[in-house]
Structure 1
Amino acid sequence: MAIPIKIALSGAAGNLGRILRTALPELGYKVRSAGGRTELRLLFPDEDIMHGDLREPEVVDKLLDGIDVLVHMAGTSVERPLAEIIENNLIALHAVYEGARRHRVKRIIFASSNHAFGMHPVEHTLHQGTCYRPDGFYGLSKMWGEGMARMYWDKHGIESVCLRIGSASETPPANRRHLSTWLGVEDLIHLVQRAIEAPDVGYAEVWGVSANSRAYCDMSEPNQIGYAPRQNAEQWASQAEGIAVHADPVASQYQGGPFVVHDYTPMEARPGRALGAAPSKKDES
């Protein structure tokens, strides 16, 4: 009989963490769930739960003691001021990777984001190796996190699977953008399970969206973990395609949607442009 994989789940109180906190034990994993700075309540008898600030080494040590794989869903998940992003998505992530070194954790599954690519126009198809184009400080932090994951594999032998998660939701697509970025619950669970169980991944990057007909990324390309999504947002197209993601039309031009228009400088107000000049095709590419 195989020895159960021991999983740590950070961010267990968040939107994705709440789903995985229930789903992972049901798949047979022994799970320790961490709820950040807010104390969790038991979901079932003998559940292994904890809380604390992941910037503190003693909290990280408590989370990772005896663990094989960390599913890291903690951190700021929306666009926020740079100082907050640095604390939660850079400093805390570094503390987690250093903890993984101390405790010889085999693998970290890192919740990256499609917002590391959000400034690509919606007409662009993303492939493995497509360049980063973050749409804000949040997306920039995910680009940095993927770089950290790469470095800790190259220098320290800690495997990482970076999941470039789109619009993960327990509900159907809410707008036109979600027809491209939606990640259904069944596919989310399958994605994380494959990230846990795939052998010898080293360092891997995987698009975390369902098999959407309008996906911005090329889901026909093979991935390193054997993720094979089955859900498709297109079945809700009649309800969602007429709903704009944001009142500002700029949001519909770029893959990052509403994150793009946060603190966005219009083309006509950018350096070197005459006020009122129309944007060129180069500006929009």
Structure 2
Amino acid sequence: MPAPRTLLLTGAAGGLGTLMRSLLPAYGYTLRLFDVRPVEDEPDAITADLADKEALREAVRGVDAVLHLAGISLEAPFEKILKANIEGTYNLYEAARHEGVPRIVFASSNHAVGYTAAPQGAVPLDPGALIPVGTPRRPDTFYGLSKSFGEDLAQLYWDRHGLETVSVRIGSCFPEPTSVRMLSLWLSPADGARLFHASLTAEEVGHTVVYGSSANTRLWWDLSSARALGYEPRDDSEPYAAELIAAQGEMDSANPAHSHLGGHFVNDPPIWPY
């Protein structure tokens, strides 16, 4: 697929959206920005809710692809998750279908499979011990459930309408890892941009699910489906390992927050504050 010229970036005011606003233009994208909150220093950004179907139709009209990062990114009461992450994602797909947008890259999450057991073993893990992308979904929260819904919605819109999606199960995309668990799931911002670019430009993706992380020495999951899109991660969390382990200790398999892929979302999920 030729590189999209105009890319709608939803969730443009959020943490990940802010990182991608600075990184993706280097790949040749002209960004159209969308968020429920005003985007700082971007007067042309569209400020609207995902419930606003007319605003979404206008936002997707004429774009070549969508990078969908919008929604609640932590746990919240089901009613809020339903409105923002489930109904909002449906509204986006309907707008894209009506306007003929050929591809969406959907920000799924490791929390769609959060109750999956974290691999145990020596670092680095044997490739056969890595969590495959086809592992059964086991969401750890209403938030994780919404990401499972998004993946199924993407599959439906490919099968029924020919709208392609790459669903990226993002680990933790921050400038640097902040916990021992994150050493296994960290996606550097630069690798995040590489992965989104590969997802936007690979040929004939249909609906493809990939894990989103850097090439971490302590990697827990299989990146082969992401690499098949042309993604070549360049970063590794290992330079941060000694300091984090000294401060926080090693992972404890008796702790459910350490023994499951979803971390503390399995027993003490952070609640969306509003």
Partner of 1:271: none
State the distance in 1 between where 2:223 and 2:164 align: 23
State the distance in 2 between where 1:246 and 1:83 align: 34
Is residue 118 of structure 1 aligned with residue 114 of structure 2? yes
Change (3 A) 1:224 1:100: farther
Change (3 A) 1:118 1:4: closer
Is residue 135 of structure 1 aligned with residue 115 of structure 2? no
Change (3 A) 1:195 1:245: farther
When structure 1 is superposed on structure 2, of 221-230 and 49-58 the one drifting more is 221-230
State the distance in 2 between where 1:79 and 1:119 align: 15
Residue identity matched to 1:12: A
Partner of 2:99: 103
Q: Does the CA-based 8 Å contact 2:48-2:55 persist in structure 1? A: yes
State the distance in 2 between where 1:51 and 1:176 align: 37
State the distance in 2 between where 1:96 and 1:189 align: 22
Q: Does the CA-based 8 Å contact 1:245-1:257 persist in structure 2? A: no
Partner of 1:211: 215
Q: Which of 242, 245, 253 does residue 241 from structure 1 map onto? A: 245
- Counterparts of 1:143-182 in structure 2, within 5 Å, are 143-170=148-175, 172-182=176-186
Q: Does the CA-based 8 Å contact 2:7-2:32 persist in structure 1? A: yes
Structure whose alpha-carbon radius of gyration is higher: 1
Q: RMSD value over aligned CA atoms?
A: 2.2
Is residue 250 of structure 1 aligned with residue 249 of structure 2? no
Relative contact order, higher structure (CA 8 A, sep 6+): 2
Residue identity matched to 1:112: S
Tell me how far 1:228 sits from its aligned partner: 1.5
Partner of 2:203: 199
Residue identity over aligned pairs, in percent, reads: 38
State the distance in 1 between where 2:148 and 2:242 align: 34
Q: Secondary structure at the match of 2:105?
A: strand
Q: Does the CA-based 8 Å contact 2:13-2:40 persist in structure 1? A: no
Tell me how far 1:221 sits from its aligned partner: 5.9
Partner of 1:276: none
Q: Does the CA-based 8 Å contact 1:167-1:183 persist in structure 2? A: yes
Tell me how far 1:246 sits from its aligned partner: 10
> Given the two structures, how large is their TM-score scaled by the length of structure 2?
0.88
Partner of 1:267: none
Q: Does the CA-based 8 Å contact 1:114-1:166 persist in structure 2? A: yes
Q: Secondary structure at the match of 2:56?
A: helix
Question: CA-to-partner distance for each residue in 1:208-240, whole Å, 9 max, x for gaps?
Answer: 011111111023566441112111111211012
Q: Extract unaligned runs of 5+ from structure 1.
A: 264-285
State the distance in 2 between where 1:127 and 1:239 align: 29
Change (3 A) 1:244 1:8: farther
Tell me how far 1:245 sits from its aligned partner: 9.9
Residue identity matched to 1:111: A
Q: Secondary structure at the match of 2:229?
A: coil
Partner of 1:70: 66
Q: Does the CA-based 8 Å contact 2:85-2:146 persist in structure 1? A: yes
> Given the two structures, how large is their TM-score scaled by the length of structure 1?
0.84
Tell me how far 1:205 sits from its aligned partner: 0.8
Change (3 A) 1:200 1:220: closer
Instruction: Give the 4+ runs in structure 1 shifted more than 6 A.
Output: 245-248
